[in-house]
Amino acid sequence: MKIYNRIFLSLALAGTCHCHVSGDIYTAALSQIESNSLRLQALGATRDADIEATRVGQTLANPELELGYLWGADGGPDRKDLGLSQEFDMETLTGAKGRVASAQRGEAESAYAEARSEVLLEAKLALIELIASRGTEKLARERLRQTTGMAQAAARLNELGQLSLIDLNKARLAQAEADNALRMATIATAKAQRAVNALNGGQPLEFDYSEFPVTMLPADFDDWVIGALGSDASIRAMQSSMEVSEQEISLAKAGNLPSFTLGYSGEFIEGGTLNGVSLGVTLPLWGNRGAVRAAKARKNALRAGYDDALLTKREELRSLFDEVSSLLKLERAYIDATDASDNTALLQRAFEAGELSLPDYLDQSSYRYDVAERLLTIRRELAEGACRLEAHKL
């Protein structure tokens, strides 16, 4: 039995131990998805609208024009008044409004970058699902081919009186199960392809890969994670929000300074005209009360959230790193367990010669495909783990 186990393990790994492909197979597909994604188009429009909104209210207040006409009493002369004034607020004059608006534009860009990263991560995981589905379908086709040959051999042995009808029915049942498994695998592949097309704006996406690329890890986690956190879209979005809060503190402080109104006044009376300059000062005694404290409180809250997110993200990456490292070792253990030689013909001959009973043949077949499916699962988990580790590059 151990000999047969080794034969089938060799057979299971024969088609998979060299199935890795080199290079980045996802770049072209993700670039196409980024161009066609309806979700990203909507997010881009929202970003542009948010950026335009930051340009509103960046100027001084509108000038005021005041006209007056007063009738004289008891036959006295009428009087005409003209006033034109402009308010100068310190939030605008010091540039505090402009700095807040600039920070808000950066925040809008960062929010879009974060959403874009999430969309592309979802797309890349969908491509991984498609590759895995194709791998499962390939295994199912191979299994159907093998069980079909077994059923045909069983029928010949039954005609020769070397195999019972019960065993023949078992062989046919195994063939039917393999056929059903292939049907289900085909459905799963079609479903995965539709999911990818949906992310591509409903357009068919050409992605012909059915094998996972080689997964590699950086040599040192501590060195790598610094760069990963520095370019992570969600972390950068929180940094942008903190920059906005910092500028809002400056804006609130500028709101505590007096604003000035400068204008022209004219009074026109029959027999005389008066012209002059008017100056007004608005004292912010209570209108801006508490604004600075509120802005500082928001900044402190964002900083606390940022520190928590940074620690959480680092631990998530640490766990992913360790998981991928363990999966790489497990994958290597499966491959190193045997040399990759195809013994299909040898096993088929052993069964047809009566050297291997049908129950043993079926048992070993199940063992073989369990090994192959487990290896495919490991490689899928490897690809998903590597995808999440490299999400900051999207």
Domains (ranges, CATH) in the chain? 2-393 (1.20.1600.10)
The answer for residues whose C-beta is within 8 angstroms of residue 247's C-beta and 6 or more apart is 96, 99, 100, 102, 103
Alpha-carbon torsion (182, 187, 191, 193), positive or negative: positive
What's the rounded Cα separation, in Å, for the pair 110 and 45?
14
First to last CA, the chain: 49
Using a pLDDT cut of 90, give the percent of the chain over it: 61
Taking 50 as the threshold, does the pLDDT of residue 19 lie above it? no
Q: Please give the average per-residue pLDDT across 30-59, as a whole number.
A: 94
Question: The whole model's pTM is what?
Answer: 0.83
- Report residue 79 as tokens: 């009087």
Tell me the CB-side half-sphere exposure of residue 194, using CA atoms within 13 A. Answer: 6
Q: Which two tokens stand for residue 48?
A: 């542009």
Q: Which of 387, 390, 378, 386 is nearest to 135 (CA)?
A: 378
Calpha distance 284→96 (Å, rounded): 17
**pLDDT, tens digit, for every residue of 137-175?**
999 998 898 888 888 888 888 888 877 788 888 888 888
- Residue 354: the pLDDT is 66
pLDDT value of position 1: 38
Closest to 274 in 3D by CA, of 83, 86, 85: 83
- Predicted confidence (pLDDT) per residue in 98-146, tens digit: 999 999 999 999 999 999 999 999 999 999 999 999 999 999 998 898 8
**Helix ranges (DSSP H) in 255-357:** 291-336, 344-352
Beta carbons of 54 and 244 less than 8 angstroms apart: no
pLDDT in tens, 201-224: 999 999 999 999 888 888 899 999
50 and 44 Cβ atoms separated by less than 8 Å: no
Given a contact cutoff of 8 angstroms between Cβ atoms, the answer to whether 116 and 34 are in contact is yes
Separation between Cα atoms, residue 52 and residue 30, nearest integer Å: 28
Q: Which helix (H) or strand (E) holds 221?
A: helix 221-230
Q: Which positions ≥6 away from 283 have C-beta within 8 Å?
A: 258
The token pair at 93 is 């004059």
Q: Which CA distances in Å does 77 have to 70, 267, 268?
A: 9, 12, 10
Give tens-digit pLDDT for 252-302.
999 999 999 999 999 988 878 889 999 999 988 888 889 999 999 999 999
d(C-alpha 60, C-alpha 63), whole Å: 9
